[in-house]
Amino acid sequence: MAEEEEPKKKVTIETLTTALQRLRMRVSEFQDNIESFIVSLEDMSRSIKSRFASIEAPLASLEVRLSALAPPDWEGEELDHMLVELDGIGEDLTMMRQTWNALTQGVRERVN
């Protein structure tokens, strides 16, 4: 027994106009989603760059201070203080990496 084909609906200008409007709306929503995502990435990038700057300055200061130490000053409170500062910078860097990893993981999940 042959399958019966559904009769084709007559295409009208109204049908095409409605379909075009729906597709235009979907395209617009997609563009808005992309724009929102890009703005979010740019904001995150600025935040990370700012945090890098806040790490670079004390790191450079530590390097200068350490290179200026003469042998009698190689021990004592100054070195202890520098180590505490270095640990703090390392913690900031760890937090930045975690933020970055979360961001890139989210991007990979959205792409896939």
Summarize pLDDT for 12-50 with one digit per residue, the tens.
Answer: 999 999 999 999 999 999 999 889 888 888 888 888 888
For residue 94, the tally of other CB atoms under 10 A from its CB is 10
Q: Say yes or no to pLDDT of 102 above 70.
A: yes
Among 94, 60, 65, 59, which residue's Cα sits nearest to residue 78?
65
Q: Compare 25 and 100 and report the one with higher pLDDT.
A: 25
Best CA proximity match to 87, nearest among 51, 48, 58, 49: 58
Distance of CA 13 to CAs 5, 19, 21, 34, Å? 24, 10, 12, 31
pTM summary value: 0.57
Can you give the pLDDT at residue 3?
A: 62
- Report the pLDDT value the prediction gives residue 80, as an integer from 0 to 100: 86
- CA 82/CA 67 separation, integer angstroms: 12
